[in-house]
Amino acid sequence: MGQHGSALGSILLGLDGFEVTAAEVIDDEWRLEVQTTATAVGCVACGSQARLHARRTVRIRDLPIGGRPVVLAWRKRVWRCVEPACAARTWTEQTVAIGPRVVLTERARAEACRRVGKDAHAVAAVARDLGVGWATAMRAVRDHGQRLVDDPARLDGVTVLGLDETSFLRATPTAPTRYVTGLVDVEGGRLLDVIADRTARAVTAWLGARPRSWLPGVDTVALDPWRGYASALVAPLGHATVVVDHFHAIKLANTVVDQVRRRTQQATFGHRGRKHDPLYRIRKLLLTVAEQLTGRGRARLGVGLAAGDRFGEVAAAWQGKELLRAVYAAGDLTGARVALDRFYRWCDGVQILELSRLARTVRAWEVEILAWHRTAGCSNGPTEAINLLIEKVKRVGHGFRNFANYRLRLLLHCGVRWQTHRTARLRGRPPVLGGVEPSEEPARLPGAEQTVGPSDSMSCRR
């Protein structure tokens, strides 16, 4: 590489305080020889000009260049103090870009954290791309991620707090399913924290650890109808309105429809639902919101029930679910009360075990259910959205064993705001002239991708 080449190489590498002195491709990897640009330094002890004593080469991996893995051979300088009386003698140069005794540059470690955290990529895949082991990649995620997760400002500005249980570990032959509690900023749609338990004590401890000014800011708590949560909230969040939101109530009702369908299936056909069983075929239609059923859907539902629901219990459970939905759909509190009475009367009338149990739960949570209308329909939709993100992280991680890792990965994926560099579009709409939108679409290359997002903007053909 010539002198100009070396300057260009340094620019392309873009590693602060470093320059490239040689570059070659070996085994499809870039081997870059680099050194710092610090040619004159003062002694660390006495300040007099130091002299170059020796060089020591260390090898570190960096971000890929042009899709090729990169190995930096850093020719580290060892400096020596020329003052005979000075105690410093010799020392090796240090930089923030490359930590001591690491195998990855700090920016590659930060990138590992961003990919695993923000993008929810598997640690193994990121490790492979960077040419390091799983443990090295995971250590980078932990070192860079923990700071982001521990930032107290992350929890600022919460007015509607959502509590939700999700499963962490599946049941095994020797242990039951382990649940954790997710705490959600319902308005901001982000995960605040994950607690290793779903007990009142765990939630109380978390609330107790908040700064004094945090709790008064929360005016509404939206939760899963789980008594433990409510009792945990009484003291620290006594001022807040507790709401059982639409999402969780309907989830309970849907579970009842499923239970009755499965019991009827077993009683009628003597086996679990299979592909051609009439009730099994309508299992999803049964959970569809009535207004969203198409004419064909309604007809299929009717046929399935006629063939498989001999005692009309599935239909009755379905009706119960729809009546509970009507409570939430009501325009105001008065309407909700009327709808609730209709729901109770229906459950009392049809006498189905599962539905009666649901009615008891609803009675126990009546105040919180009706509070939905007092808080102008506070929505737990974001909780549902975050549950989907949690499922994604779990799927990528192939099940977690370690709770600390699990919490870190979840919070990095849906609890942290990431700064991302916004790239300009290479081919976009032509500039708007004089405020008039051009009527013609920009010409496209035949067969070219229609949209060019920030991530693939560099793949445009020249």
Query: Which chain residues interact with Zn ion by CB under 5 A?
Result: 43, 45-46, 81, 83, 86, 88
Q: What single string gives the DSSP state of each residue in 409-420?
A: HHHHHHS-PPP-
Q: How far is the CB of 86 from Zn ion (least distance, A)?
A: 3
86 vs 350 by CB, closer to Zn ion = 86
Q: How far is the CB of 123 from Zn ion (least distance, A)?
A: 45
93 vs 322 by CB, closer to Zn ion = 93
90 vs 459 by CB, closer to Zn ion = 90
Do residues 179 and 166 touch, judged by C-beta distance below 8 A? yes
19 vs 83 by CB, closer to Zn ion = 83
For tokens 């009615």, the residue is: 359
88 vs 250 by CB, closer to Zn ion = 88
CA-only gyration radius of the chain, Å? 31
Q: How far is the CB of 49 from Zn ion (least distance, A)?
A: 9
User: Could you tell me the CA-to-CA distances from 425 to 186, 340, 418 in Å, in that order?
Assistant: 33, 54, 21
48 vs 459 by CB, closer to Zn ion = 48
Q: Is 406 exposed, middle or buried (0-12, 13-18, 19+ CB in 10 A)?
A: buried
Task: Please choose, from the candidates 333, 323, 322, the residue with its C-alpha nearest in 3D space to the C-alpha of residue 377.
Answer: 333
The dihedral through the CA atoms of 356, 357, 362, 363 has a sign that is: positive
45 vs 333 by CB, closer to Zn ion = 45
Hey, what are 231's tokens? Answer: 């009792």
Q: Is 435 exposed, middle or buried (0-12, 13-18, 19+ CB in 10 A)?
A: exposed
The tally of CA atoms less than 13 A away on the side-chain side of residue 309 is: 23
The dihedral through the CA atoms of 325, 326, 329, 335 has a sign that is: negative
Q: How many CB atoms lie within 10 A of CB 432?
A: 9
Q: How far is CA 89 from the centre of its chain?
A: 51
86 vs 196 by CB, closer to Zn ion = 86
Task: Please choose, from the candidates 314, 317, 311, 320, the residue with its C-alpha nearest in 3D space to the C-alpha of residue 261.
Answer: 314
User: What values do phi and psi take at 55, rounded to 5?
Assistant: -125, 145
User: What values do phi and psi take at 170, rounded to 5?
Assistant: -65, 155
